[in-house]
Amino acid sequence: MSTSDKNKKPTIKDVAALAGVSAMTVTRALQPNSSISEKTKTKVLWAVKALNYKPNISARRLSSSRSYFVGLLYIKPDGSYVGEFIIDALKASRKHGFHLISEEYSSSGGMSPLYLVDKLIEDTNLDAVILIPPLCDDLELLHHLKHKEMPFVRVSPNVELTLSPFVCINDYDAAYEMTQFLINQGHTQIAFIQGASSLKNSLSRQQGFLDAMQANELSVPAEFIQPGNFTYQSGFSAAHNLFELTNRPTAIFAANDDMASATIACAHKFGITVPDDLSVVGFDNTYIAKQMWPALTTVEQPLDLISDKVLELIAHHDLSSDGETLQKFELPFKLIERDSVRNLKTVPSS
């Protein structure tokens, strides 16, 4: 086979030839709710995978009632989470044969956000909408989409949990485990920088921290709980308050990586060395956690897996809700140990 043949993009005729069926049968087999027999569909899907065939989206739109466009709504990104989620959602969309349209949910030119959402839906004929925090809890938007009969799936919501399927991790367990990790490293004076108080994941992370401290019979002074808002600026301000205390913590758990990175930057300003003088941990395992110095110990929230699950639900029309069944898909988290934590139990050699 020549190099040009190897690089040639497979066509529907190639799939049909490999599966031993007609091109029309391939088209029908790739449509949702097709009447094609399971045996034939299995052969077609095997050929599609073997050839790495990607159906032409224009042709798919003509041959079905779907548009293969998905909308992702977000509020102005103040940190790393939104940007990284959009990137992972773009990859997942391509994998599942969709085009992703990401739109900021805000007033523009005097027009209301709901009007802009309606315009997006009408202009692109979206198949579904993805809502990430904090929009996943915007009741006005949720009920508007429901009224419009627009399917949607949410990421880490806190309200109306039977309104739509959603994908999440267990923020409480993750924060509990991270706190226990710090305690196992010999830390007893641990402070916590909160996330946005209106979001479920913020509250769950804080409760996981508090319960782990209580389970180990460790007290948490009121001044060790500092308000934050998932932004770099709020993390820097919170860390500044902690460093001005007479009795400083030996470790700080920030509710996301942006605030943790701000904590390390603020520590440098105060002449505090991380991790020798202070241990710092974060949450999310975003890009900044891997690139900063020292590299950040954090909780990995698998945004790639979350995005993939969201698009999988959309691709398989699994977005219905009967108003009673909790359609919750919880994905695993992982603690990522890097260089921002010191083990206080390690006795230095003389």
| Fold exhibited by the domain 171-300 | Rossmann fold (3.40.50)
Confidence of residue 58 (pLDDT cuts 50, 70, 90): very low
pLDDT tops 80 at residue 79: no
Class of residue 170 by CB neighbours under 10 A (exposed 0-12, middle 13-18, buried 19+)? middle
What average pLDDT does the segment 26-35 reach? 68
Place of tokens 């399927």: 165
Domain 3-59 in CATH 1.10.260.40: yes
pLDDT tops 80 at residue 320: no
The domain spans of the chain are 3-59, 69-168+303-319, 171-300
- For residue 52, the model assigns a pLDDT of 84
- For residue 245, the model assigns a pLDDT of 97
Task: Please determine whether the domains at 3-59 and 69-168+303-319 fall in the same fold group of CATH.
Answer: no
- For residue 61, the model assigns a pLDDT of 47
pLDDT tops 60 at residue 233: yes
Confidence of residue 255 (pLDDT cuts 50, 70, 90): very high
pLDDT tops 70 at residue 60: no
pLDDT tops 60 at residue 64: no
Round to whole Å and give the CA distance between 349 and 24: 75
- For residue 162, the model assigns a pLDDT of 87
What is the CATH number that goes with domain 69-168+303-319? 3.40.50.2300
230 Cβ neighbours under 8 A, 6+ residues apart: 78, 79, 81, 195, 196, 199, 202, 255, 256, 258, 259
What single-letter amino acid sits at 43? Answer: K
Task: Mean pLDDT check: name the lowest of 172-181, 185-194, 266-275, 310-319.
Answer: 310-319
Confidence of residue 5 (pLDDT cuts 50, 70, 90): low
